[in-house]
Amino acid sequence: MSQDLPLTIEDAAAALRAGEVTATQLTSGFLDRIAALNNTLGAFVAVTPETALEAAAVADEDFAAGVDRGPLQGIPLAVKDIIATHDAPTTANSRVLDPEWGKGTDAPVVARLRAAGSVVLGKSTTSEFAIGLPDPDKGFLVPRNPWQLEHSASGSSSGTGIAVAAGLALGGLGTDTGGSVRSPAAFNGHTGLKVTFGRVPKNGVAPLGYTLDSVGPMARSAHDCAVLLEVMAGYDSGDPCAARVDVPKYAEMLTGDVRGLRIGMPIPYFYDSDEVSEEVRTSVFAAVEVLKGAGAEVDEIVVPHAKQAKDANHITLIAEAYAYHRDNLVNRWTDYGRYTRRTLVRGAFLNAGDYPQAQRFRSFFRRAVAELLREYDVLITPSSPSPAPRIDEMSPEKQLFSANFTGPWNLIGLPAAALPCGFSGAGLPLSMQIIGKPFAEGEVLKVADAYQRLTDWHRKVPEVLSPQP
């Protein structure tokens, strides 16, 4: 990757204030990289150069006038294409969504980023309606892992994950219902934060699972995620699920000090499953040793019924997604991508007892994990059992029956961050997951930041990729 552009939001913010670069130059540089690489990587479904450069010019005028709106002023970002923006259509990477959906409006989370002076570069690729595997027959670019193009960038916030990893944006927005912020962060080798349910308003976002969805920041570092979250978070009356909880100064909480921190490592399911590769297991254990060396205390523990939690999350997600899509599945079946419709239609096969039983388990699991988190500050697991698979080896059925280490935390609405902690022998990123107490994003980010101060995995970048002719 060219070093002409800053690597992180923190780097860019410092360069802007030092006069080493203007917001217009920064934005132009990222737009040029998108033009060169997007056909290869499939990171963006729509780019908005006019409004991006207008926002950058305003940021430059503010800097010149001594107006500083904070660390996001002049920072180029990507917005997942299920989140409304006034300057580009929202398609959900689908031929089904009404073209008038969200037209001409910014979702509150986008409006907050713009008010802080950030620059929206465009709409980033998503799995169709945040759930289906890519279907090239529908005319959208296939998202590809910038480390190895034949491998998955994961989903559903694929495009933002690619954009951050490949230097097409400094950060951006994803959504997470079963792992859709953390999985792309894990596969693409950067940091992503799933927030507590209700922490960030999700009105203006096409729904997937009504009781599971969250909007989260994606960036290279925990520090950058903290800066984004500080702007994104907070109550909005348009979202009935939004929480009336104060928003702390997250960046100020990143002290680097983890002395006395209590870490629980849930070994059953998350580490001892046959699906967990030895490379993943070894890298996460090594990462925890780094934190232990910095003064954290570590215990091996058990999270009861973790596999059932993954299944309950899936039942909840599919039931709620099917409720939203049922009529369109009946009337517009072939307009959906083939993998999306195969996944969504599972909801038709749930019986009347499946959803309430999943909710009964949800209450039990929430109480069980809350008991553990009275004793431990955070839990640490792998983000994924393995590195990114090949795109041609993926299927909805494999996803259904594979171990999943992210979904259990969506089920009970907890914050969780994925961050890089090594590479496989084949050169693919490896990732660990840090899970915290409700609304304790600051603690999760503090642990992630402390690790990143002692390592540099999050600053590794893929080789420069040549665009297709």
Q: Provide the pLDDT for residue 117.
A: 98
**Structure-block tokens of residue 256:** 């680097």
Neighbours of 103 (CB within 10 A): 12
CA-closest candidate to residue 183, choices 131, 113, 139, 230: 131
Residue keyed to tokens 């040549």:
466
Domain ranges of the chain: 9-459
Average pLDDT of the residues of the chain: 96
For 392, which DSSP code? G
Alpha-carbon distance of 26 to 56, in angstroms, equals: 8
Classify residue 149 as exposed, middle or buried by CB count within 10 Å of its CB (0-12, 13-18, 19+): middle
Query: Which residues have a catalytic role annotated?
Result: 80, 156, 180
Count CA atoms within 13 Å of residue 223 on its CB side. 19
CA dist., res. 114 & res. 52, Å (int): 10
CA 48 vs. chain centroid, Å, equals: 22
Q: Which token pair is 112?
A: 């907050």
On the CB side of 12, CA atoms within 13 Å amount to 35
Q: Which residues contact 148 (CB under 8 A, 6 or more apart)?
A: 388, 426, 427, 428
The pLDDT, as a whole number, for residue 466 is: 44
Task: Per-residue pLDDT tens, the chain, 469 aa: give them.
Answer: 445 899 999 999 999 999 999 999 999 999 999 999 999 999 999 999 999 999 999 999 999 999 999 999 999 999 999 999 999 999 999 999 999 999 999 999 999 999 999 999 999 999 999 998 999 999 999 999 999 999 999 999 999 999 999 999 999 999 999 999 999 999 999 999 999 999 999 999 999 999 999 999 999 999 999 999 999 999 999 999 999 999 999 999 999 999 999 999 999 999 999 999 999 999 999 999 999 999 999 999 999 999 999 999 999 999 999 999 999 999 999 999 999 999 999 999 999 999 999 999 999 999 999 999 999 999 999 999 999 999 999 988 888 889 999 999 999 999 999 999 999 999 999 999 999 999 999 999 999 999 999 999 999 999 855 444 4
Within 10 angstroms of residue 72's Cβ, the number of other Cβ atoms is 27
CATH ID of 9-459, from 3.40.50.300, 3.90.1300.10, 3.40.50.720, 1.10.1660.10: 3.90.1300.10
Token pair, residue 75, equals: 């920072």
pLDDT tens sequence across 257-284: 999 999 999 999 999 999 999 999 999 9
